[in-house]
Each structure stands twice: as C-alpha cells, then as structure tokens.
Chain A
Amino acid sequence: MSKLEKFLRGRFAAALVAVLVGFAISAIVLAAAGYNPIGSFAALFNGAFGKPKYIANVIIKATPILLTGVSVAFAFKTGLFNIGAEGQYILGTTLATIVGVKLNLPMPLQVPIVLCAGILGGAALGAFVGWLKAHFGIHEVITSIMCNWIAFYLCNFVVMSDTFHKPNSTSALQVNGSSYTMILGNWKKSAEGKAFLKGIPWLREILAKTDLNYGFIIAVLVAILISFVLTRTKLGYELRAVGFNRDAARFSGISVERNIVLSMLISGAICGLAGALTITGISPHTITLLAAMESYGFNGLSVAFIAACSPLGCIPASILFASLIYGGMSVQQVMGAPSDIINIMIGTIVFFTALPGVTPMLADMIAKRRKAQEDIRVSKDGTPLPEKEV
C-alpha cells in the first residue's frame, strides 16, 4: 500500500478533506454572491491570527467549544447523541451566575463552588435526558432539543427576575469579583502590573486587552481526563460496551439503564463546566437576555465530528473552529460579506464528515489504477506477476 493510500484511509485525511471541501463550497457561495473569496479568506485568516490579541481571543473562544466538543464526543462514544449540549451549557451559565451573585467567599473557595454549580446544572439536565431515554425509550435527540429551549427560557426568566435583573439593561447582575478566573486578573490591573506590562507590548496586548483565563487549560485537562476514562478504566469500558452493543452489554451483566443515565450525566456536566467557565472567565461575567441560541453547544457538535469523536482530537478541532468563528467576524467588517458564511462553511464541514466513505473510496480508486498499471507493465515485459504482498 502506498503512503498516499495509507494516508487516505486514516481519520486525518477524512477531516482534512471535509475542511477543504468546506472552504471550497464557501468560496463558491461567496463568489456566486459577488464577494471575492480569496480576499474573504485572507480577512478570515488575518482576523484570527493577525495580532497576539486575536490569537488570545481565539483561545478564549475555543474554551467552551472544546468542552462541549469533548462532551458530545464522549456521549457519541457511548452510543448517545448529545445535541442538548447547548441547553446544558446555558443551564451551566445560569446556575453559575445565580451562585456567583449570591455567594461572596474568598477566591479559593468561591471559584470551585461557582464552577460546581455550573457543572451541577449541566449534569442535571443531561441526566434527565438520559433517564428519559433509559426508562421510557424516548430518543435523546428530541428530548434534549426540547430541553435546550426550556433552558433557554429559564435563562431568560432568571435574567428578567426581580432578584437578578440588573436595572436598565438586558442582563443579570454580575457575579462577585472573587469568582473571576482571568490569568493574573488583579495583577494586570494594579499599578505595578501596568508598569511592568508597558515594557512588553505583546504581553500587554494579550493580558490587558483580552480576558485570557485559565479556562482553556482546564478544558485541555478535561479532554485528557475523558480520554483516559474512556480508554483506560472499567467505567469507560462499560460505557463503550453499552454504546457498541446494548444487548451484549446487558448479557455480560452491565446495567444498560444506569450507564445511559451516567453517560448523559457526565456529558452534561462537561457542558455545564463550559458554561460556568464562560461566566467566571470572560466579561460581562453574567448571563444576558438570549434572543437566539448562542450555538456553543451546536459548535461543540462540529468540533466532535471533525475530531472523529476523539476527546484529544477535539483540542486542535476546537482551535480550528474558534479561529473560523472569531476570524469570520472580520470577513463582514473587511469584505462586507455576511459572516453567516462561516456557518455555511462549518455546516458543510460537518456534512462531509458524515460521509465516512469518501476518502477510503479515493484510496480504492488509486489502488485499482495502480494495479491496472502493474498488469499492463507485466504483460509488456512478458514476465510473470510478482508475488503479492500479504
């Protein structure tokens, strides 16, 4: 087998082809609508990586979608489709805000408690969907989409409630400062910090002009942890067994119902953490009135699929999508092309990751052609066919 064939049969090739096709189709759509595709992609790239500040913002954007991506990937590995990541994320932000506003403890206590509140919110919603699936056999896709909307309106209810509404605004009250998780958050605003940062412009740009926070580090650790749990522990084995073959798992003494609920609970918890980290990590440190879904959960689906549902693969995938989403905003500013083109691109990429057969099919074609050429060569030389490799 040639190197190219081997590459085409790998998972990376499938992802690469999907991304390339995504770019190609968006280019066609842009050109058809009368915008310059090359210029748009240049604006996209420049908007994502042009300045140290932009790169920091890409990392900030990547944090929630890495976590929701890991959540979806985890659920998928256990045979469940967590399209409810969106709602679990929203409930995470909501509960983190409620606790962060009402509670004001010293930071080492406050931050874990606020994060736990978010995790709890996501986990509860996830477990509910899992319970409906396990005990009533209702497809998790439908219930979790309904739960997305319920979480959506619950969030808006909290924003507008008398206790939490910030007067004359469309948002809730900010969480207390002790819940913040920005890197060197207090130091960078102190006189000493300001004086120090003045000497190092790039560092000043990254720290002082963005909300760079510990979230991404936590998210990467979670990705590693989930990967470990799935592949190296008894729990992960049982969860995957239920995903592969429910009947076989049941026959070998694994409780299918318990594992479905558990899987959705963990998956929801990760999304809840993503929501809580958004509240503690980036301004405005609160929830605002939602007019439409914010798509952190739905982008998590894209991240998971392009990563072929490998939790570790979600790390580069989340950076890719974050740079597309963040850089996409400058496409509108620079080229005037609607930034919705990014959604078209992401949708196309996901669509092509759903077609698992495309790149292996190319490999088959190459193999066939090579074989045909070999046959021709053999017949011309008149020598017998060489022994086939096994």
Chain B
Amino acid sequence: MFANLILLIGITLMYSTPLIFGALGGVISERSGVTNIGIEGMMVIGAVAAATTSYFTGNPWIGFLAAGACGALVALLHAVASVSFAADQTVSGVAINMLAPGLALFACRRFFDGAAMSPIAPKLPKILGESGLAGTPFANLNVNVTTVIALLFTAIMWFVLYKTKWGLRVRAVGEHPAAADTLGIDVYKVRYCCVLLSGMLAGFGGASMTIAIIAQFTQTAISGHGFIAMAAVIFGKWTPFGAYGACLLFGFTQALVIMLGGGDFVVPSQILSMLPYAMTIIVLILFVGRSVAPKADGVPYVKGSR
C-alpha cells in the first residue's frame, strides 16, 4: 500500500512535468494577450530536437537546450503572424500544429534512415543519480531532474510576473494593450518576447518527454499533451502556480491509468486511456466559470486603432 502510494506520487510527478512546461508556456503567452494553440506543435518540435541532438552529441543537456531553441524558432512563426500581421491566432496556432509534426517526422526520417522514431538517446539524469534510493521504499521519488527544473521555472515565472517591472508590463499588455502603449510600453516587443519564451518552454516540455521520461522520439511521444497543458492554463486561472497544480492533477490521472492498467481491475485499457481527457472536460466544467482570461487574450493589437 505504502509502496503503491510512493509509486503513484512518482508517476504523477513524472507525467506532469512535460505538461508543466507546456502550461507555463501557455501562461506567459496568454498573459501578454496572445493565444497559443500551437503549444502542442512546439512540444513536438522540442521532442524531436532533444532526442536527435542528444543522440548525436551524446550530451542530453545540449539536447535540452536545443529543444528550447527549436521551440522558440517555431514560436517565432506564430509571433510574426499574430503580432506583426494581426492574423487569426487560432488559425495560426492550428497551422503550427500541422506544420510541426510534419517537420518533426521529416527531420526524424532524414536523420534516421526513414524511421519514424529515433534510436535510444542519452537521458537527462535523475536528481539523485541513476541508483539513488535504490532498494529503499522511496526509490520512485528519485524523479527526473526536469521535474525540479519545472518547479523552479514555475517559481521564477511567478516572481517575474508579479514582483518585477517587466512582469507588470506583460500583464498590462495582456489586459489593455492600448493603455500600456500610451505609457510607452512597446506592446509588440513584449508580445514577441512572451511568445518566444512560450515556444522555448514548450520545447523544454517536449524534451522532458523524449530525453527524460522515455529515451527516444516516437510519433506518439507528444499526443495531446500541449492541449492538456492549455486546459491546465485555464483551470489554473492563467497563473504559474495554478497551472502547476492543474498539471499535477492531470499527471495524477495519467498515473492512475498506469496503476489501474497493471492491476487486477477489469477495465479495458482503451477505456482507461480516456481518463485524462475525460478528466480535463470534467475539471473545466467544474471550474472554468470562475476563471477569467486576460482581457486582451487572443485580440491582435493594431497600433493606433481604437
């Protein structure tokens, strides 16, 4: 029983980590007023970049950084479309979600002789080393280092958004860009920064799947994680720690799927697999009415317009 509980906590932390990165990306982008549906696509790009770079360099940390850089590069597309060209942000995000998996698989097949998955790549370490706590009941609490990084990033984002001048500017731009503009804040610059950051974080999210949880890129490594992360942003009321908590909840349902799947329960695995998605809908029904989006979220800002 106790061992199962520890296992449950371990798996929850493990599976919530990619979601947390994705959700933080969503928070920063939406706080500046840009809806980012493309989180999923950016995570896929991060996933393939991490596995490929880690495989070829042998250093997972370079893979992790490459994932962030590639995610930001894809986010640049979204930023150009939604900030500079005042495009429909949903359509642009959807386009990125189509473009990115194509690009990811194309790259994967190019690098690995037509295979839709990468070979096993070096993984990021666990916090206490490969065999930390081995043999003790707490072995499953030796989580991936990305889990700690995710928590750290959440705290940093909270501090930046609420305790610094720059954070205040981001929030102002997301609530009332015209007012922010009259105070001399460069709305476009702030939004560009936030969307790029969002892509970088989503890229890290992809990396924390392919070089921490599993050790390779596969076609289904990222399957809907970006969208669950977006739901977590709403459930978490567009705050870093709120989103963090929401992701833990979704990670918990994932953990339940795994624990129940391996047990004596006679629930078919396909039905169990629906749990995280059904849970997302239920959670949204229960909580969404009470959360209020940033006022200018999803509205392109055109200088001088009223």
Contact B271 A153 (CB under 8 A): yes
Flag whether A241 is at the interface (Cβ < 8 A).
Answer: no
Query: Across the two chains, which residue of chain B brings its CB closest to A129?
Result: B281
Take A153-B270, A301-B94, A350-B98 as given contacts and tell me if A33 and B106 are in contact as well, using a CB distance cutoff of 8 Å.
yes
Take A338-B109, A354-B95 as given contacts and tell me if A138 and B90 are in contact as well, using a CB distance cutoff of 8 Å.
no
* Interfacial residues of chain A within 104-123, with CB under 8 A of chain B in the complex: none
Contact B98 A150 (CB under 8 A): no
Instruction: Give A149 to B223 CA distance when docked, in angstroms.
Output: 9
Flag whether B258 is at the interface (Cβ < 8 A).
Answer: no
Q: A168-205, CB under 8 A of B: which get 1 and which 0?
A: 00000000000000000000000000000000000000
Flag whether A356 is at the interface (Cβ < 8 A).
Answer: yes
Contact A351 B92 (CB under 8 A): yes
Flag whether A242 is at the interface (Cβ < 8 A).
Answer: no
Contacts of A355 in B (CB 8 A): 81, 85, 87, 92
Contact B105 A142 (CB under 8 A): no
Contact A354 B288 (CB under 8 A): no
Query: Across the two chains, which residue of chain A brings its CB closest to B220?
Result: A292
Flag whether A347 is at the interface (Cβ < 8 A).
Answer: yes
Pick the contact of A338 from B99, B114, B273, B280 — CB < 8 Å?
B114
Contact B289 A136 (CB under 8 A): yes
Contact B281 A343 (CB under 8 A): no
Flag whether B142 is at the interface (Cβ < 8 A).
Answer: no
Instruction: Give A146 to B130 CA distance when docked, in angstroms.
Output: 35
Bin chain B's interface residue count: 35 or more
Instruction: Give A21 to B109 CA distance when docked, in angstroms.
Output: 24
Flag whether A143 is at the interface (Cβ < 8 A).
Answer: yes
Pick the contact of A137 from B92, B95, B288 — CB < 8 Å?
B288
Instruction: Give A354 to B35 CA distance when docked, in angstroms.
Output: 14
Q: Which of A62-70, A154-162, A207-215 contacts B (4 or more CB under 8 A)?
A: A154-162
Flag whether A60 is at the interface (Cβ < 8 A).
Answer: no
Flag whether B91 is at the interface (Cβ < 8 A).
Answer: yes
Flag whether A377 is at the interface (Cβ < 8 A).
Answer: no
Flag whether A81 is at the interface (Cβ < 8 A).
Answer: yes
Min CB distance A123 to B, Å, is: 18
Flag whether A348 is at the interface (Cβ < 8 A).
Answer: yes
Contacts of B95 in A (CB 8 A): 347-348, 350-351, 353-354
Q: Which of B2-10, B65-73, B145-153, B224-232 contacts A (4 or more CB under 8 A)?
A: B224-232
Flag whether B88 is at the interface (Cβ < 8 A).
Answer: yes
Q: A346-372, CB under 8 A of B: which get 1 and which 0?
A: 111011011111100000000000000
Flag whether B139 is at the interface (Cβ < 8 A).
Answer: no
Flag whether B86 is at the interface (Cβ < 8 A).
Answer: yes
Instruction: Give A137 to B285 CA distance when docked, in angstroms.
Output: 9
Contact A149 B102 (CB under 8 A): no
Instruction: Give A361 to B114 CA distance when docked, in angstroms.
Output: 41
Contact A354 B87 (CB under 8 A): yes
Flag whether B277 is at the interface (Cβ < 8 A).
Answer: yes
Flag whether B96 is at the interface (Cβ < 8 A).
Answer: yes
Query: Across the two chains, which residue of chain B brings its CB closest to A160?
Result: B270
Contact A343 B105 (CB under 8 A): yes
Flag whether A341 is at the interface (Cβ < 8 A).
Answer: yes
Bin chain A's interface residue count: 35 or more
Min CB distance A226 to B, Å, is: 20
Query: Across the two chains, which residue of chain A brings its CB closest to B80?
Result: A355
Flag whether A385 is at the interface (Cβ < 8 A).
Answer: no
Contact B106 A340 (CB under 8 A): yes
Contact B219 A292 (CB under 8 A): yes
Instruction: Give A208 to B245 CA distance when docked, in angstroms.
Output: 58
Flag whether B100 is at the interface (Cβ < 8 A).
Answer: yes
Flag whether A83 is at the interface (Cβ < 8 A).
Answer: yes
Take A146-B231, A156-B270, A160-B268 as given contacts and tell me if A138 and B109 are in contact as well, using a CB distance cutoff of 8 Å.
no
Instruction: Give A292 to B181 CA distance when docked, in angstroms.
Output: 45
Query: Across the two chains, which residue of chain A brings its CB closest to B114?
Result: A338
Contacts of B157 in A (CB 8 A): none
Instruction: Give A301 to B103 CA distance when docked, in angstroms.
Output: 18
Flag whether B160 is at the interface (Cβ < 8 A).
Answer: no
Q: B269-306, CB under 8 A of A: which get 1 and which 0?
A: 01101100110110011001100000000000000000
12 CB contacts below 8 A, A to B, read A137-B289, A138-B281, A148-B224, A154-B270, A157-B270, A292-B220, A338-B109, A342-B102, A344-B102, A347-B100, A354-B92, A355-B85
Additional pairs, 14, CB under 8 Å, beyond known A146-B224, A342-B102, A346-B102: A136-B285, A137-B288, A138-B288, A142-B234, A143-B281, A153-B271, A161-B268, A298-B98, A301-B94, A340-B106, A340-B109, A347-B100, A347-B103, A354-B92
B residues with CB within 8 A of A: 37, 77, 81, 85-88, 90-92, 94-96, 98-103, 105-106, 109-110, 114, 219-220, 223-224, 227-228, 230-231, 234, 268, 270-271, 273-274, 277-278, 280-281, 284-285, 288-289
